[in-house]
Amino acid sequence: MGVDASFAENIDPYNDGSQYAYGENVGFLNFEPDDNGGSGAEVTSSRVTGYVWQENADWINLSPSNYGGVLNDGNGNLSGYAWGENVGWINFNPTGGGVTIDENGNFNGYAWGENIGWIHFQNQNPAYKVQTEGLQDSDGDGVPDVRDVCPGFDDKVDTDGDGIPDGCDSDKDGDTYTSAGGDCNDLDAAVHPFATEICDGVDNNCDGQIDENVKTTYYRDADGDGYGDPNTITENCTQPSGYVT
């Protein structure tokens, strides 16, 4: 059986060899046969797809068209069937067994092969296991914690587009100034300690004052003759009605 060598896989995320299950009658089954990339198994929130290699049984298809393949209920409880032309059907939720994936991405339990018997997914001695990316998603942004740049905050909120979520970004607006460094509004790149103060009702230079030394002085012109009263003045960014400069 041929396989698609470009198939995505996400087994053994820490590259420590966590890619093997063990069949009691066939030996080890490799869920990441090409190591970092290529054919192998991919776990999603709804399915387990791709291929497993067994040296005595050849390729095992985790997503055959018949029986719908291997399914994931979103909580790591697997069901359904894989198929290999030399081993037949493999049930991931058999009576007396079953395979689950915990929040750390570890496969646990037993699958049953109709022609090869029990397949065990984790063991202490000899040590072997299959591991994928952890299912835990602390911030609920759809990115598992093991891949999340900032697991406490939504990765989708990235004001300055630098790839670092706002919750973990020391410079959210990309102006090279941080809150710790005196940036009083780290969501506005025009506001930082070295900005030029302009007359806009904002503390542009973060000195605690608003529009200092940039307002225009206006004089009250009650009779509309174009001449203001020097005793009735106001400072403003825009000219008020009834006032002249």
Residues 213 and 161: their CA atoms lie apart, in Å, by 34
pLDDT score of 61 more than 90: yes
On the question of pLDDT at 5 being above 70, the answer is: no
Model-wide pTM > 0.85: no
Residue 73 has pLDDT above 50, yes or no: yes
Task: Read off the pLDDT band of 223 (50, 70, 90).
Answer: very high
Pick left, alpha or beta for residue 34 (phi over 0 → left; psi -120 to 50 → alpha; otherwise beta): alpha
State how far the Cα of 112 lies from the Cα of 107, in Å rounded to an integer: 15
What confidence category does residue 75 fall into, taking pLDDT thresholds of 50, 70 and 90?
confident
Token pair 């399915």 in the structure block, residue: 47
Give the Cβ contact number of residue 227 at 10 Å.
10
pLDDT at 147 over 70: no
Q: Does pLDDT of 1 surpass 50? A: no
Does the pLDDT of residue 6 top 70, yes or no?
no
Q: What is the mean pLDDT of residues 169-180?
A: 79
For the ranges 22-31, 42-51, 52-61, 157-166, which has the lowest average pLDDT?
A: 157-166
Q: What percent of the chain has pLDDT over 70?
A: 85
Let me know how long the chain is.
245
* Cβ atoms < 10 Å from Cβ of 203: 17
| Average pLDDT across the chain, whole number | 86
Cα 80 from Cα 19, distance rounded (Å): 20
Tens digits of residue pLDDT in 135-145: 667 777 776 66
